[in-house]
Amino acid sequence: MRGVEPAALETAFVHPSAVHEGRASSSYERLEFLGDAILGLIVARWLYRRYPDASEGELSLRKSSLCSDLALAATAERLEFGELVVSGGGLASARRRLSVLADMMEAFIAALYLEIGFERVAAFVAREHLAEREKSVATLDDPKTTLQEWSQRRYAAIPLYSERFEGPAHDRTFYAQVAVNGEVLAGGSGPSKKEAQRTAAAAALDVLRERYDDLAPRELSAPVSTPRPKPGGGSRRGTAA
């Protein structure tokens, strides 16, 4: 990428386990914190412009889908970030690797932002992540959101989650259970608290769909059309990332 020194991006690929084992002095954790906020703003602005007829609820679901660990990991894998990671013993399983790839994607976005600024990073994210992921979105029924909306509609109460974790700080597995109206419906696990809750919510929805018929997928808004260039017109210039 023009204007970027490769050395400025190296920390984005250092897993915390490499620091714990003395192979590096700092990991991607601080960059990940910044990248999460930058990504959220980029995605929110992109969705606001692209889906002018979408409700706030739909925009939130779309944002959640595009910013999920699964989506970020898919983009990081396509960009072959996994080949660049510096780690110790923290990548023992494929399940953990998904979380690591997502963390590195956020860290990389932050590192780019610090080097080339917000607009060029936004162009990179739109091209390499948002446009690609939008093609593969089949549903926006985020399990946690769907379960909460249903629970509030039926019981005027929100689902309650309980969590625990096992393992060292750099390689934890989280476990969650979810209860609705006082009944524990299901449990789940994952490499983060959020993913464990999401898995538990998805399992709970499977249970509820066996009992009730009011959990149908929502209808989605159409994106704004991409303007076609006028015949004989000059080429459009955009911001290069």
- 10, 21, 36, 115: the catalytic one is 36
Q: Are 199 and 121 in contact (CB under 8 A)?
A: no
Is 134 catalytic? The answer is no
Give the active site residue among 32, 69, 103, 106. Answer: 106
Which residue from 161, 154, 148 is spatially nearest to 205, judged by alpha carbons?
148
- Write the DSSP symbol of residue 91: -
Is 106 an active-site residue? yes
HSE at residue 134, side-chain half, CA atoms within 13 A, is: 17
Do residues 88 and 15 make contact, with C-beta atoms less than 8 angstroms apart?
Answer: yes
Residue environment code for 170-189, b if the CB has 16+ CB neighbours within 10 A, otherwise e: bbebbbbbbbbeeeebbbbb
Catalytically annotated residues: 36, 106
